[in-house]
Amino acid sequence: MLYIPFVISIISLFFVYYLIVWIKKCDTGTEKMQEIFQAIKKGASAFLKRQYKTIGIMAIVLALIFLGVYGLRGNWIYGLQLTGAFLFGAFCSALSGLIGMWIAVRSNIKTASAAQTSFSKALTIALRGGAVSGIAIVAISLIGITLLYFVYTFLGYEVARIPSLIVGFGFGASLVALFAQLGGGIYTKAADVGADLVGKIEKNIPEDDPRNPAVIADLVGDNVGDCAGRGADLFESMAAENIGAMILGVALFPHFGIRGILFPLVVGAFGLVASIIGVLVAKAKEEDQPFKALNRGYFVTSFLAAVAFYFVTDQLLGNILFFYAGLVGILASIAFVYITQYYTEAKYRPVQEIARASETGHATNVIAGFSVGLECTALTIITIVLALILSFKLGQMSGFSGGGIYATAVATMGMLVTAAYILAMDTFGPITDNAGGIVEMSGAPEEVRRITDKLDAAGNTTKALTKGYAMGSAALAAFLLFSAYLEEAKLEVVNLAKVEVFIGGLIGAMLIFFFSAFAIKAVGKAASRIIEEVRRQFREDSGIMAGTSKPDYAKCVDITTKAALKQMILPGLLAVLTPIIVGVLLKAEAEAGLIMVGTIVGVLLATVLNNSGAAWDNAKKYIETGKLGGKGSPAHSASITGDTVGDPFKDTAGPSLHVLVKLLGTLSLALVALFI
C-alpha cells in the first residue's frame, strides 16, 4: 500500500517537470526585463546560499549534540535513527524551499513578458509557476516519509513501530522551516520597509521605481520570503501532519492495522492528484477576472479531494464517520478562507473602519487595525473549536478507543488535502508581485502594467487567504502533534493544576510573545540598515534621483542579506532551546503544558498579526482607489503608517509563529526520550 503514495508522488514530479519545461519555453521578455531578472536571480541565489549555509551548520551542530546525548545515555542506535531522519527532513525541507524560490524567480520574468501580449497567458504562467512549488513540496514530503518507511521495513522493523522512529524527519523539517520563514520574512520586510520609507515617503517616488536603490532587494525579498518561506511552512505542516497522524494511527492498530497508519499518506497522494487537475482547469479568458479562474481551480480541487477522501476512507478505514471528520476539515479550511476575507477585504466593515480611522490620523489608524486583529481571533477560535469538537465526537461515535483523537487527525488531513493547490495560489501572489515590479522597472507601456496590476491585486487576495489557511492548518496540525506527543510520552494526563505544568504553560505563552518581539524587532533593525544605505546613495549621488545614474542595487541586496541572516539567529535559537531546557528540567508533563498553551497563544497571536497586517494593507489600498481623499491625502499618509506597521506583523512574525507552534510539537516528539 506504501507504493500508492510513492508512485503518485513520483508521477507528480514528472508533472512538475512538464510544467517547468512548459514555463521555460515561454518568452523571456525585453532586454531590460532580462537585466532586472538577472539582478533578482543573483540576489535571491546569494541569499539562499548563505542562508542554507547558516541553517546547515546549525542543523549539523544540533544533530551532533542529539547524537552525543543519546549516545551518553547508551542509546546510540536510536540516536542515529533520530539524527538521520532529522538531517533527511532538514534536507528535504531545504530542497522544497529551493525549488519554490528557483521556479518563482524564473516565472516572474515569463509572467511579465507574457503580460505584454496576453492576460490569460500571464495568469497561467504565474499559477503554473506556483503549482511547481506546491506540487513539488507535497510530493517531496510524501516521498521522504515513504522512503524512510521503506528503509525501516527493509531493516526488519515492525510496521507499527516505524512512525516513532521517523519523528526526526518532522523536526528537521520544522527547524529548516523556522529559519527559512524567519530569515526570509525578515529579509522581505526589511527591504520593503526600507524601500518604501525612503522612496515613497521621503522622496515621493512610486513603488518599484528603478531610481530606488532598494528596489531589487525588495523584489528579491518576495522570492526568498513569500515563496521559499511559505513553502517551507507548508512542507512542515504536511510532514508534521503525516507523522503525527501515523503515530495516532498506531494507537488504533487493533482496529485498522497498517491501514490506519498509512491512511494519511494515501489521502495526501490523492489530494495531490486533485490539485494537479485543479491547476489544469484554472484558466482564464482574456476578459475574465483573475480571481474567478483561481477560484474555479480551488473548488474543483476541493470537490475532487472530497470525493477521493470518501473512497480512500471507505477502502482503508471502512467507516463513514471518519469521512465526515475529513469533511469537517475541508469545511473548516473554507471557513478560514471566508473569515480571513471578511476581516481583510476592503468591501467589509473591518477594513472600512480602519480606512475611516485614518482620517483622524496615524494613531487612530494603528489603533483601529490592531483592534481588528484582536477581534478576528473570536471567529477563528470558534471555527477551531467547532472543528475539534465535531470531528472528535464523530470519532467517538465509532466506538473505537482513541477514535476521537484519530478523527481530529483525519480532520487535519481534510484540511491539508488541498495543500498543493493552496500553495500554488499562494506562490501566485509573489510571482505576480514581482512580474509587476519587473514591468514597472522596465518602463513597459501603461497597458501592460494594467494587466500586471490586475494580477497583482488577485495575488494580494490569495496571499491573505492562504495565510488564513496556513494558520488554521498549523493550529490543527499542532493539536495533532501534541496528541501524538502524549501518545509517545505515555502521558494520560496533563494536569495544569500541578505547579510545574502551569509553569510550563506560562513559559510556553511567554516564548510566543518573546519570539515575536525579536522577529518584529529584527525587521526594524535590518530595515534601519537599508534606510541608511538608501539615504546615503541618494545623498552622495544626486544623479540617481534625476535618473541619470544607476543606483547600486547590489549593495542594498548585500546589506539586506547580511542583516536578515544576523537577525534570524537569536529568535531561532530561542525557539529551539527554550522547549528543550523546560523539557529536560521540568520533564514530560510540564513540556506538554508548554506545547499546549504555547500552541493556543501562538495561534491567537499569529491570527492577530496576520489579519491586522492584511487589513492595514487593504485599508491603504482602499484609500488609494480614491476614497476618503485618495492618494496624497492625510488619510492616505496615515494608512501608510498602518501598512508599514503591519508588514513585519503579517510577513515575518505571524508566519514564523505558524512554524513555531509546529516546531514545538515536532521537537518534543523527537526528543521525548530526554524528557521522561
Quick one: 103 or 645, whose CB is closer to its own copies?
645
Q: Give alpha helix (H) positions in 198-344.
A: 215-221, 228-251, 253-256, 258-281, 290-316, 320-344
Supply angle C-alpha 248, 272, 479, rounded to 5: 30
* Chain centre to alpha carbon of residue 225: 9
Quick one: 341 or 377, whose CB is closer to its own copies?
377
Min separation Cβ 136 and its own copies, Å? 34
Min separation Cβ 591 and its own copies, Å? 12
Quick one: 287 or 492, whose CB is closer to its own copies?
492
Quick one: 385 or 577, whose CB is closer to its own copies?
385
Quick one: 196 or 233, whose CB is closer to its own copies?
196
d(CA 342, CA 359): 22
Min separation Cβ 616 and its own copies, Å? 10
Min separation Cβ 194 and its own copies, Å? 9
Classified as helix, coil or strand, 282 is coil
Cell 521578455 maps to which residue?
A: 29
Quick one: 101 or 523, whose CB is closer to its own copies?
523
Min separation Cβ 187 and its own copies, Å? 16
Cell 515492525 maps to which residue?
A: 158
Residue of 48, 49, 62, 52 whose CA lies nearest to 573: 62
* Chain centre to alpha carbon of residue 326: 22
d(CA 176, CA 58): 10
Min separation Cβ 342 and its own copies, Å? 15
d(CA 217, CA 159): 49
Distances (CA, A) of 674 to 45, 67, 72, 265: 38, 12, 12, 29
Quick one: 139 or 590, whose CB is closer to its own copies?
590
Quick one: 128 or 467, whose CB is closer to its own copies?
467
d(CA 250, CA 189): 43
Min separation Cβ 384 and its own copies, Å? 7
Min separation Cβ 502 and its own copies, Å? 7
On whether the CB atoms of residues 575 and 659 are closer than 8 A, the answer is no
Min separation Cβ 124 and its own copies, Å? 37
d(CA 419, CA 469): 9
Classified as helix, coil or strand, 543 is helix
On whether the CB atoms of residues 551 and 211 are closer than 8 A, the answer is yes
Quick one: 457 or 570, whose CB is closer to its own copies?
570
On whether the CB atoms of residues 22 and 109 are closer than 8 A, the answer is no
Q: What are phi and psi of 130, to 5 degrees?
A: -65, -40
